[in-house]
Amino acid sequence: MKKQELSLEQKRLDADLWIIILVTMGVFVAFATMQKDIMAFIRDQTIPIVVRLLLNAAIQFGVAGLGITIVCILRKEKFTKFGLNRKNVIKAIIGTIICFTPVICFYVIVGRFQGYHPLKIVITEDVIASGIPFSIIGMAIIAIVWGFFEGFNYAVISEKINGRYPADNKWLDYGAISCGIICILFHPISFSLVGVVEMLTTFVAIYGMLLVKKRTGNAWGCVFAFCFIWNAI
Q: What integer pLDDT is reported at residue 5 of this predicted model?
A: 78
With respect to residue 2, please indicate whether it lies within any of the assigned structural domains.
no
The whole-number pLDDT of residue 3 equals 57
Look at residue 162 and tell me if it is in a domain: yes
C-alpha 104: how far from its chain's center? Answer: 17
Taking the CB of residue 56, how many other CB atoms lie within 10 A of it?
Answer: 23
Cβ distance 204 to 98 under 8 Å? no
pLDDT of residue 175: 97
Kindly state whether residue 233 falls inside one of the protein's structural domains.
no
Whether 51 is covered by a domain: the verdict is: yes
Question: How many domains are contained in the chain?
Answer: 1
Question: Residues 201-226: what's their mean pLDDT?
Answer: 98
Residue 135 belongs to a domain: yes
153 lies in some domain? yes
Taking only the tens place, the pLDDT of each residue in 149-179 is: 999 999 999 999 999 999 988 889 999 999 9
The answer to pTM > 0.75 is yes
209 in any annotated domain: yes
User: Whole domain around residue 180: which residue ranges?
Assistant: 8-228
| Contact between 94 and 202 (Cβ < 8 Å) | no
Nearest to 50 by CA among 136, 145, 131, 127: 127
Give pLDDT tens digits for 76-135: 999 999 999 999 999 999 999 999 999 999 999 999 998 999 999 999 999 999 999 999
Contact 141, 53 (CB under 8 A): yes
Three-class SS of the chain:
CCCCCCCHHHHHHHHHHHHHHHHHHHHHHHHHHCHHHHHHHHHCCCCCHHHHHHHHHHHHHHHCCHHHHHHHHHHCCCHHHHCCCCCCHHHHHHHHHHHHHHHHHHHHHCCCCCCCCCCCCCCHHHHHHCCCCHHHHHHHHHHHHHHHHHHHHHHHHHHHHHHHCCCCCCCCCHHHHHHHHHHHHCCCCCCCHHHHHHHHHHHHHHHHHHHHHHHHCCCHHHHHHHHHCCCCC
In a domain, 1, yes or no: no
